[in-house]
Structure 1
């Protein structure tokens, strides 16, 4: 375990990297810290953003692909925080200058309709969701060359940078829906099954992590279930995702 002062210092370091759009070296190269420390750094990062006037409005899951779990040598998903400053309107613009080396990936989003008591063992999280939508997440690791450890990425708020939510729709089953993402000259095709075998499972994984990490779940929060394909570079122009049965969502990247 590291000290509270070290946690605050590392959070300030990562926060500065995000605000200055300047990458930094892996924290794990200079300090030994564990996953509990990593989530403490993440919480301190969120606190800094809230102090600047941002509102916490949701959560995102990472490592929901079995291949990514194997690559990182872990068996758990990871959780990051979303704020209102990260949200972009569907089809709206985003300046690339606000990122270091952005990538984009297709997601399924859910919306909570009621507060959840994370200590209530019999809660049915699916009944606490009133809508779902196609979504895009822009990830932007603050670490140089996207090189990081498991604890690094958790501390860095799971590379969260921005997100876009398409039209909200009633909750439905999309266990193996086709997914297509186009960004510039790049195109990837996949399936919602890449998200833990079925994106609805992400909700249950999230509840488990929130219990363990004491992260509150509140009505109105947006939940990003995890990437349905590999991420691709975000370049100038329109990036669009289509998910069969859910529809489309897009963002317009501007700048160089």
Structure 2
């Protein structure tokens, strides 16, 4: 069986050199999700050792459709560092990424720790602000082809994150389950969604993460940004393409290159 250290080392090189990898589970089918999280911790620690700071977390596979497609019943999670948050007003630096894809999300800025057992209610009570966001995914695997353990090790395809300019408390918005999003590519509507696309309520995925971390003796920390999961299918980001997410009550955020 390939070790978590070996997996992490290959991912570190792949990200630095913009090199696509073959999924580890192809040659090592016994590489499992638990080992994937062990590799993820080492992958993220390499960023911390290089001077980055962990400022939040991201959820993946939060829609039921995606879970069914991947044969799982729970989301996955990765860590977000300060270097991953990019200015929304500037082009995404494609030269620093491999093959980015964009998906709209609802992001939560936590005012205080969220401890287990967590619920939608406790997450909303701990939330300082909600933002429109864009998750710029960037898998280190060729053609985004991977098994669950692979994508977990790859920090859930974390690339860059863009935040919209408008901050709202949950009380200032409609029910987050009903908060609508329109996704456009170069001005043309390509998809629509509502907050309920994420586990029935976007705060439910944040609560799931708090409970999952609690099982590991960790805490979802106040001050963190939590990206609750994609509302639509991801869109490839290419030169000359602008992907815009328009959110009810939260404004607009665009990714362009």
Contact 1:91–1:252 (8 Å) recurs in 2: no
TM-score by length of 1: 0.90
- Say which of 217, 220, 242 aligns to 2:220: 217
Instruction: Identify which of 18, 21, 24 aligns with 1:24.
Output: 21
Counterparts of residues 92-131 of structure 1 (less than 5 Å): 92-118=90-116, 124-131=122-129
Q: How does 1:23-62 map to 2 (within 5 A)?
A: 23-31=20-28, 32-62=30-60
Q: Which runs of 5+ in 2 are unaligned?
A: none
Q: Aligned-residue CA RMSD in angstroms?
A: 2.0
CA distance, structure 2, for counterparts of residue 225 and residue 40 of structure 1: 22
Q: Which residue is equivalent to 1:155?
A: 153
Would the aligned equivalents of 1:183 and 1:235 in 2 still touch at CA under 8 Å?
no
Q: What's the CA shift for 1:215?
A: 4.0
Select 2:242's aligned residue among 234, 238, 243: 238
Tell me the CA shift for residue 92 of structure 1. Answer: 2.1
Offset, 1:127: 1.7
Partner of 1:170: 169
Contact kept, 8 Å, 2:123 with 2:203, in 1: the verdict is no
1:241, distance to aligned residue in structure 2 (A): 0.7
Distance (whole Å) between structure 2 residues aligned to residue 49 and residue 223 of structure 1: 18
Deviation for aligned residue 1:11 = 0.3
Q: Out of 37-46 and 163-172, give the one that drifted further.
A: 163-172
Change in Cα spacing, 1:12 to 1:175, as seen in structure 2 (3 Å) is same
Structure 1 residue 117: Cα displacement = 4.1
How far off is 1:228 after superposition?
0.6
Q: Secondary structure at the match of 2:228?
A: strand
Provide the rounded CA distance (Å) in 2 between the counterparts of 1:209 and 1:164.
25
Are residues 136 and 78 of structure 1, via their aligned partners in 2, closer, same or farther at CA, if it must alter by over 3 Å? same
TM-score by length of 2: 0.90
- Inter-partner Cα distance in structure 1 for 2:206 and 2:118: 15
Indicate yes or no: 2:220 matched with 1:249. no
**Number of aligned positions between the proteins:** 249
* More strand per residue: 1
* SS, match of residue 141 in structure 1: coil
Q: What SS does the aligned partner of 2:229 have? A: strand
Q: Provide the residue aligned with 2:204 in structure 1.
A: 201
Query: Which residue does the alignment assign to 2:184?
Result: 182
Ranges in structure 1 where 5+ consecutive residues have no aligned partner: none
Give how far 1:186 is off. Answer: 7.3
Distance 2:58 2:68 in 1: 20
Q: What is the deviation of 1:70?
A: 0.3
Q: Secondary structure at the match of 1:82?
A: strand
